[in-house]
Every structure is written in C-alpha cells, then in structure tokens.
Amino acid sequence: MIGVAILGSTGSIGESTLDVVARHPDRFKLIAIGANRSAAKLAEQIKRHRPAYAALADETAAGELKRLLGNSAPQTRILAGEGALIEIAAMPEVHSVMAAIVGGAGLRSTLAAARAGKRLLLANKESLVMAGPLLMEAVRAGGAVLLPIDSEHNAIFQCMPHNTRVGTQPPGVRRVLLTASGGPFRDWTREAIATATPEQAVAHPNWVMGRKISVDSATLMNKGLELIEACLLFGVPPQQVEVVVHPQSIVHSAVEYLDGSVLAQLGSPDMRTPIAHALAWPDRIASGVEFLDLIRTARLDFRAPDPDKFRCLALAQAAARAGGLTPAVLNAANEVAVEAFLDRRLNFLDIAAVIEAVVAQSGGGVIGSLEDVLAADSESRRRAREQISGSSAEVRKSGTARGAHA
C-alpha cells in the first residue's frame, strides 16, 4: 500500500487526485489531506475518505472544521497552521505527496516533501518557477522522485527516454514542443480582450481548473510559467522550447529528436490522466477519464501564439532567459495582478502591464538561499500592489469597460 498525502485537497487538482486514489483502495492509502480555509469542503472529504490526518493552514478555519466534524471522524487527527502542511509533507507513513496548493503558498511544503525524499507529484508550478534551483537541489539531496503533474510536463516526461533524470537534458533531444490551448480569448481581438471580465477569463474552453490558473491560461502566463518549468525539469534552455497553440487540447505536448522523430502524448483533457500516471509510475492504472476517440476528434490544429495579444508569454520567456530571481519576481507580480483582476480592481490587459513594471523595477540577482527568494517575492508583491493602486484609480476614472461583456 502506498501512503498518499494531498496538499490542496479542496482544489481542482486535489479533488481529481482524491477521485483517482479512491478508485484503487488496494493500491493507495490516503494518509493526509490539507488546504487553506475551506473547512466545510474539507469536512466532507474527511467523512468520505477517512484520512489519518487533515490540516488547514488557517487556524480559525481549523477550529471551524473541528466544530463541523464534532465526533463524526474519530479516525482523523486535525492539525492547524502552515506548519501542519509542512509536517504532513514529511510524515514517515507518507510515500507520495501531491503538491497541489496554488501559488507561492505551496513553496515550503513542496520543498519539505522534496527534502524528505518523497515521491513528489508536482502540480504547484509556482514553487518551481520561484525557486527552481533550490527545489531541484532539494530533490537531489533528499533522494526524492519528482514527477510532473502539469499535463504538458507529464506528457513531455512520457515522451522522454525511460532513463531520463529530472533536471538533465537527455541526449538526442532537439526541441520540446509545449502545446497551449490558447485560452478563452484565443480568437478575440485585442480590443475585446481589453474589456474581458473575470467570469469570461475563468471560462476555459477545454479544462476545468481553479480560478488563478484559469486566468493564467487566458493571459498565456500559464504557458510562460510552464516554459520556465520545462527548462528546469528537462534541462533545456528556453530557446529549445517552442510554444504551439493547439485549440483542441488533445496533444498535451511533444518532444522532437535529432533524427526528426516527434513523440507526442495524446489524451482527453482531464487531469486524472497525469495524476494517475504519476501516482502509479512506472505502472499504468485506470484513471476514470473518457477514452480518446480520434475519429470523433477528427481535427488537430496547430498555430503560433500571438505575442501582441498575449504579452505575458513574452515576459515569461524573458524571465526564463534572465534566470536567477527574475522568475520569482514575475510570479509574485502575476499572483497579485491576477487576484486584483479577479477582484475587479484591474483590467485584463493591465495584468501584463503590472508584471512588466515590477520586473523592470527589480534588479534580478542570483538565488543564494530560500531567504533570497522569499525577499524577492515579498518585495515584488509590494511593488505590484503599488502599481495596482495606481491602475485601480484609472479603472475607477474610466468607469471600467469590463462590464460590457458580462
């Protein structure tokens, strides 16, 4: 039996992971689940899946969770505080850790799982973008096995040679082809995108995901973060990663070899495939996804991304080339800008403008330690908030056009 912990269990990836784990009670034992403050949802998950531990980072919400459970879940010990998620990530009875907390909030627990030598199922791409070299070093030093959950990186991993070591470019690889759906605004004009609402941005055409990554998909920042992620995971420089817009989201990414072969991984757009792949690797298990019907799919289209409409991609490509602390700066500014957009304090196109201004203000610099990353992260968040309070005044003055499409 493989002991599993799910950090971010109340989110979209967390729920898909619970679904796959529950399909294989003979193989997996759910040891622990955790989230931030969704007490009611966590209470339901505890009653249904009966883990040994459950944690909420928010202590008040953890109190609420205890109240909601009463005496109904004596098998589950409730833990509280950010430290509890770190504790879970390193528990001896946990073999595999699903790192599915959204944003920089997932960094410490992801690092803890790596240091403790766990099988690290990495959905929390932001931790790799922020602190890539530190996380990769923690994986090496802890003897952890890192398996990518992002559908693109999981696809690339599946297309790489069997003996691929994460972080090292395998011989014979010419390029990585990173596919992108193009998001909900793929075919919109720049003028229409300028008035996009949060509701429109989170309505992804192919994938059901959390709100933050849905907005990242709409700006194409998600693809930019994934490009940085790909460089770290597969040891390739940014110029060897080509972003290809593929509206059907059937080809999840591909690897081109020196001999001209292109190996791609295909499947229905459902995160349970990469989750099941990583949970069972190197075995294959059922995931519950709908099997791909190529005849019904009929068409697979590919095109180049439009850099004028989606500036976030170019910003992330530049950050990937700069390396050091720049990706952490980019990530922090993006998180703050996306939150402001979701709160209707920032226009859609200003997400890129805020990130660009914050990256331009930052001096970059090398990553010496986790403290360097955390300092760059908090400084960039502060700068992004400053930028946004200026932009919010503009939004109020113009009476915001965002309601136009609502």
The first and second tokens of residue 178, run together, are 């990173």
Q: What is the DSSP letter of 76?
A: -
Using the rule CB under 6 A, is 207 a contact of ligand NDP?
Answer: yes
Q: Which of 37, 174, 175, 344 binds ligand NDP (CB under 6 A)?
A: 37
Question: 342 or 401: whose CB is closer to ligand NDP?
Answer: 342
Taking the CA atoms of residue 339, residue 340, residue 341 and residue 346 in that order, the dihedral angle to the nearest 10 degrees is -160
Q: Which of 3, 31, 38, 273 binds ligand NDP (CB under 6 A)?
A: 38
Classify strands 119-122 and 96-99 as parallel, antiparallel or unpaired.
Answer: parallel
CA atoms within 13 A on the CB side of 399: 1
Q: How many CB atoms lie within 10 A of CB 263?
A: 16
Using the rule CB under 6 A, is 17 a contact of ligand NDP?
Answer: no
Using the rule CB under 6 A, is 218 a contact of ligand NDP?
Answer: no
Using the rule CB under 6 A, is 14 a contact of ligand NDP?
Answer: yes
Sheet arrangement for strand 241-245: 241-245, 173-180, 251-257, 262-266
Question: 357 or 381: whose CB is closer to ligand NDP?
Answer: 381
Question: 36 or 326: whose CB is closer to ligand NDP?
Answer: 36
Question: Segment near ligand NDP (CB under 6 A), from 94-102, 307-315, 316-324, 387-395?
Answer: 94-102
Q: Which of 88, 148, 150, 217 binds ligand NDP (CB under 6 A)?
A: 150
Using the rule CB under 6 A, is 125 a contact of ligand NDP?
Answer: yes
The residue number whose beta carbon is nearest to ligand NDP equals: 11
Q: Three-class SS of residue 128?
A: helix
Using the rule CB under 6 A, is 227 a contact of ligand NDP?
Answer: no
Using the rule CB under 6 A, is 210 a contact of ligand NDP?
Answer: yes
| Residue of 170, 176, 200 lying closest to 188 (CA atoms) | 200
- Report, in Å, the least distance between residue 166 CB and ligand NDP: 17
Using the rule CB under 6 A, is 271 a contact of ligand NDP?
Answer: yes
| Residue of 73, 63, 59, 54 lying closest to 7 (CA atoms) | 54
Using the rule CB under 6 A, is 267 a contact of ligand NDP?
Answer: no
Using the rule CB under 6 A, is 319 a contact of ligand NDP?
Answer: no
Using the rule CB under 6 A, is 213 a contact of ligand NDP?
Answer: yes
Using the rule CB under 6 A, is 327 a contact of ligand NDP?
Answer: no
Q: Three-class SS of residue 190?
A: helix
Amino acid at 282: P
- Written as one string, the DSSP assignment of 286-338 is ---PPPP-HHHH-----B---TTT-HHHHHHHHHHHH-TTHHHHHHHHHHHHH
- Report, in Å, the least distance between residue 257 CB and ligand NDP: 26
Q: Which of 36, 96, 249, 380 binds ligand NDP (CB under 6 A)?
A: 36
- Report, in Å, the least distance between residue 268 CB and ligand NDP: 13
Using the rule CB under 6 A, is 358 a contact of ligand NDP?
Answer: no
Measured between alpha carbons, how far is 145 from 142 in angstroms, rounded to an integer? 9
Using the rule CB under 6 A, is 139 a contact of ligand NDP?
Answer: no
Residue in this structure with the two tokens 């939150």, named with its chain if needed: 339
- Report, in Å, the least distance between residue 250 CB and ligand NDP: 16
Question: 22 or 208: whose CB is closer to ligand NDP?
Answer: 208
CA 72 to chain CA centroid, nearest Å: 33
- Report, in Å, the least distance between residue 164 CB and ligand NDP: 20
Question: Buried b vs exposed e over 12-45: b needs ≥16 C-beta within 10 Å?
Answer: bbbbbbbebbebeeeebbbbbbbbbbbbebbbeb
Q: How many CB atoms lie within 10 A of CB 118?
A: 25
What is the size of the binding site for ligand NDP (CB under 6 A)? 29
The first and second tokens of residue 330, run together, are 């980019």
Using the rule CB under 6 A, is 335 a contact of ligand NDP?
Answer: no
Using the rule CB under 6 A, is 281 a contact of ligand NDP?
Answer: no
- Report, in Å, the least distance between residue 281 CB and ligand NDP: 17
Using the rule CB under 6 A, is 10 a contact of ligand NDP?
Answer: yes
Using the rule CB under 6 A, is 49 a contact of ligand NDP?
Answer: no
- Report, in Å, the least distance between residue 331 CB and ligand NDP: 10
Would you say how long the chain is, in residues?
406
Question: 103 or 195: whose CB is closer to ligand NDP?
Answer: 103
**Residues 287 and 28 sit within 8 Å (Cβ to Cβ):** no
Residue in this structure with the two tokens 């991993």, named with its chain if needed: 157
Q: Three-class SS of residue 241?
A: strand
Measured between alpha carbons, how far is 243 from 172 in angstroms, rounded to an integer? 20
- Footprint on this chain of ligand NDP (rule: CB under 6 A): 8-14, 35-38, 57, 85, 100-102, 105, 123-126, 150, 207, 209-213, 271
